[in-house]
Structure 1
Amino acid sequence: MTVLSLEDLAASTPPGTPWLGLDLGEKTIGVAVSDTTRMIASPLSLVRKTKFTDDAHAVLKLMDGRKASGLVIGLPLNMDGSEGPRAQSCRAFARNLQRI
């Protein structure tokens, strides 16, 4: 799995396949799934965070179950556009997910 911009993700995934969207919180991961046109996302699941590997496998299982071709991870920014600790945590999750 590679970290890409949204434009590059769209170009590198098969058309007509959904994406999963992740909202990484401190205790849970909110998961949404897009339709096949990638225009509408609907809530799918809530993953209670435990260990990173368990969390990652839970997300990948949801991805396989929906035959999703990509993940979009929300990047929380501060009001001034800078990145704080939560954004750094999201980037770390994405980097570690690449290793699985």
Structure 2
Amino acid sequence: MPVIDLDDLPARRPRKGPLTGVDAGERTLGVAFSDALWTLATPHSVIRRSKFTDDAAALFRLMDARGSDVLVIGLPLNMDGTEGPRCQ
């Protein structure tokens, strides 16, 4: 799975379809899905974290159910835009 900058996504994936957004916390993964045209994201569910493989399987099941094949992961940035310690 390639890692690309979000600004490069339209050129790399011209076919539209829902995107999956994940906000990774220490205890939970917040999951949201965009609409097919990438104009609006809506919260969907929360996955209680356990083992990585179980968390990934739960996330991929949600993505399959929505027809999403792109995962957007939010990075915890500091207020000045620099990467926070959790980015590592």
Q: Same fold (TM over 0.5)?
A: yes
In structure 2, stretches of 5+ residues that fail to align are none
Give the structure with the larger helix fraction. Answer: 1
Give me the whole-angstrom Cα distance separating, in 1, the residues matched to 2:61 and 2:2. 18
Question: After TM superposition, where is structure 1 displaced by more than 6 Å over at least 4 residues in a row?
Answer: none
Q: What's the secondary structure of 2:33's corresponding residue? A: strand
In structure 1, stretches of 5+ residues that fail to align are 89-100
Give me the whole-angstrom Cα distance separating, in 2, the residues matched to 1:48 and 1:70. 21
Structure 1 residue 83 displacement after superposition:
1.9
1:39 partner letter: T
Cα 1:84–1:36, aligned 2, differ >3 Å: closer, same or farther? same
Aligned residue pair count: 88
Structure 1 residue 79 displacement after superposition:
2.2
The percentage of aligned residue pairs carrying the same residue is 56
Equivalent residue, structure 2, for 1:60: 60
Equivalent residue, structure 2, for 1:93: none
Structure 1 residue 56 displacement after superposition:
1.1
Q: TM-score, normalised by structure 1?
A: 0.79
**Are 1:6 and 2:6 an aligned pair?**
yes
